[in-house]
Amino acid sequence: MPFLSTSSSVFPLNGSTRAAALALLVSAAACSTAPVAPPPPAAASPVTLLPPPQQPGVRLDLADTISRFAADSATLNRFDSIRWSEAALDRREALISRQLADVAAIDFATLAQSARVDAILLRNDLRGELAQLRLDRRRLAEMTDLLTVRTVIIALEEARWKMEPLDARAAADALATIPALVQAARGHADAAKPSPVTAQRAAAALASLSGALAGWYDHSAGFSPDFAWWCAKPREEAGRAIDDFAKHLRDEVAGIKGKPGDPLIGDPIGREALLEALKNECIAYSPEELIGIGEREMAWCTLQAEAAAREMGVLNADGKGDWKKALEQIKDDVAPPGEQAAYVAAVAREAIDFVKNGNGGVGLVTVPPMCEDYWKQAMLSPQQQRTLPFAVYFSQAIGIAAPTDAMSHDDKLMSMRGNNRRFTRIVVPHELIPGHHLQSFMAARERPYRRQFSTPFYVEGWALYWEMKLWDLNWAKSPQDRLGMLFWRMHRCARITVSLRFHLGEMSPQQMIDQLCTSVGHERANATAEVRRYIGGDYGPLYQCGYMVGGRQLRALHDELVLGRGGGLMDEKPFNDAVLRFGPIPIELLRAELTGTPLSIDSEATWRFADR
C-alpha cells in the first residue's frame, strides 16, 4: 500500500513532489525528540552500527549541509508559488548547481563511511532534481502555445513579490489583454489538436494560474483605494476566460468530465528518463531487466497459488489447483458492515506480538513502546477510495477502506471483497508494525535529515521484505491465508510490469487495468483505482516497482549478512534494527554502510542483487 504523509502527499517520491516536501520533512523530523533505546549490537559482529567518536580532522557527517540545502530549497518553494515559470525553474537550477559544486569540492578522503554515503545521497538527489527540471522544461515547451496568459500573470505576481509600487491603471490594462490571449490559445488548440496528455496538463496549469491571479487580486483589493475600481471587472473577465479555456481542454480535448467512466490519462516519461531515475536510485538494472524480475517472481507466485488452491480442494478440469477460483472464494470471507475496523485492530495486535516475541523469544525487530501504543485508525471516504481502494498508512494512522452507505450496491460489494479478511491479514502488518508505522517512527528519530532522500525501494521495500519474512515464518494459518498473501505479492509483481511498460510507452491505462484483473485477480473497480493512482502524477515513475524490487534487495542483503552467504556478520534482530536506523535510503548505499564497501564521490550502482 502507499505510504502517505500527514499532508496526504507521498513521502517524497519524485523530483516535482520532493522539492515541495523538503521543508515539511525537515520540520517533521525536528518535531519529535522522544529517545529510542538502541537495539543490542550483534554478537561478534564487525559491522559498526553507530558512527565512531569524533576524530580530529575527520568530518563525520553532512547533516548540516543537507539540512541547509533543504531549508534553501524550501525558501524557493515558498517564494516561487507559480510552477510553470522559466524564472522559477532558473532559480531552482541555480541553487542545485551551486550545491552540486559544493558537493564536488568536498574532500571525500576525510569523510567517515556514513558521511560518504550522505555525500552520494546528496549528489544523487541533486542529479534527480536536475533531471526533473529538464522534464519540466520539456513539458512547459509542449504547453507554451496553450499558456499564453502565463507571462502576464507571472509579471503581475513577481512585481508583487518584489514589492514594487502598484499602478492600478497599468495592472488593469494588463488584465484586459488576457481574454484575447486566451482566445488565441484556444484557436491554436482547435487547430493543433494537442494530445489528451498535454491538454490535461495544460488545464491543470491554467487552473493554477487562475488561482495565482485570484491571490494577486485579493492581496490589494480592499486595501488600495483605487485598485478594485480599476481591476475588479478586468480581473473577473480574465479569470472567467482562463477557467473556461481550462474546462474546454479538460472536458472536450482530454475527455475528463468528472464522471466514473472518464478516460485514464497519464504522462509517461520515456525510457531515457527511466534509466536516469534508476541510476539516481542506485538500481543497476534496466527497465526491461526489472520487468524480467517481476515476471520471474510472478511465476513463483503462481506455482504457490496453485498449491494453496489444491490444498483448499479447488481444482480445475486437469486436476491442478485453480487459484483464480479459489481467490473468488476467499474474497467472500469478509467482515460484516461496520466491523472491518475491529478486525484490523485485532490483526494489528497479533502482528505486534508476533514480531516482538518471535525468533525464540528474542524478537525479530525492536518495537519502541511509543510506536506500539500511539497509532490510530481513520476510515477512508468514498472519494478517497477512488484512488485508495485498500488500507493505507497516514502518519500514525491506518486508513481503512470499507463500504459506506453512500456507495452504490456494486461498489459496496467490491470494497468488501477487495478488503476481505485474508487480504487484510497481511495488509495490516505491511501498513503498521513491522511495516510503515514502525519505519516512519524510526525515520523521525534516527538520522532524520535522510528522510528527504526517501526512496520507494526502501519505503515500500521494507514493508514487502516483511511480507516475505512473515511468509517464511508461517504468519499464514491456512491455505486461504497463504493465497491472500500471494494475491498481494502477485500484485507487486504486476505493478513492476504495468508501471514500467506504461512509462516506456508500451501499455495504455486500460491495458494496465486489464492485466491487474487477469493476472492478479483484482476487482475491476479496485484495479481502476490503482491505475488512476499510478499514473496521476502524485507518485514517481519508479514507485510501483519499488515494492517488489526493494523487498528483493533487502532480502538479498539479509541473506548476505544474516544467513552467512557473506560471512554471517549479524543476527536477525540487530540486522532489522540497523536497516531502520540508517534511514530511508537506496538499499545499495545501506549495504555499503553496513559492510564498509569502498566508496568514492563517483561511485555508481553496481550491485546485481537478483543475479544469484
Contact 129/96 with Cβ under 8 angstroms? yes
What pLDDT was estimated at residue 141? 96
How far is 140 from 147, CA to CA, in rounded Å? 9
Per DSSP, 315 falls in state: B
Q: Distance of CA 489 to CAs 13, 274, 534, Å?
A: 22, 23, 17
What pLDDT was estimated at residue 533? 84
pLDDT digits (tens, 9 = 90+) for 339-378: 999 999 999 999 999 999 998 899 999 999 999 999 999 9
What pLDDT was estimated at residue 565? 61
What pLDDT was estimated at residue 612? 65
Q: Which of 209, 194, 212 is nearest to 250 (CA)?
A: 194
The neighbour count for residue 604, using CB atoms within 10 Å, is 12
What pLDDT was estimated at residue 1? 54
Compute the half-sphere exposure of residue 512: CA atoms within 13 Å on the CB side of its CA.
Answer: 31
What pLDDT was estimated at residue 522? 87
C-alpha cell at 188: 491554436
Distant-in-sequence, close-in-space partners of 313: CB < 8 Å, separation ≥ 6: none
pLDDT digits (tens, 9 = 90+) for 85-115: 999 999 999 999 999 999 999 999 899 999 9
> Beta partners for 4?
10
Per DSSP, 434 falls in state: T
Per DSSP, 400 falls in state: E
The neighbour count for residue 91, using CB atoms within 10 Å, is 14
Q: Residue ranges of the chain with pLDDT lower than 50?
A: 5-60
C-alpha cell at 541: 515513475
C-alpha cell at 8: 496526504
Distant-in-sequence, close-in-space partners of 27: CB < 8 Å, separation ≥ 6: none
For 401, the 3-state DSSP assignment is coil
What pLDDT was estimated at residue 451? 92
What pLDDT was estimated at residue 4? 55
pLDDT digits (tens, 9 = 90+) for 393-420: 988 999 999 999 999 999 999 899 999 9
Q: Which of 360, 355, 441 is nearest to 397 (CA)?
A: 441
How far is 504 from 269, CA to CA, in rounded Å? 7
Distant-in-sequence, close-in-space partners of 156: CB < 8 Å, separation ≥ 6: 171, 174, 213, 216
What pLDDT was estimated at residue 395? 84
Q: Which of 414, 435, 425, 431 is nearest to 481 (CA)?
A: 425
Per DSSP, 252 falls in state: I
Contact 415/403 with Cβ under 8 angstroms? yes
pTM for the predicted model, two decimal places: 0.84
Per DSSP, 525 falls in state: H
Amino acid sitting at position 95 = L
Say if residue 434 is preceded by a cis peptide, omega within 30 of 0: yes
Residue spans per domain, the chain: 147-253
Kindly tell me the burial class for residue 321, based on how many C-beta atoms sit within 10 Å of its own C-beta (0-12, 13-18, 19 or more).
Answer: buried
Chain position carrying cell 489447483:
321
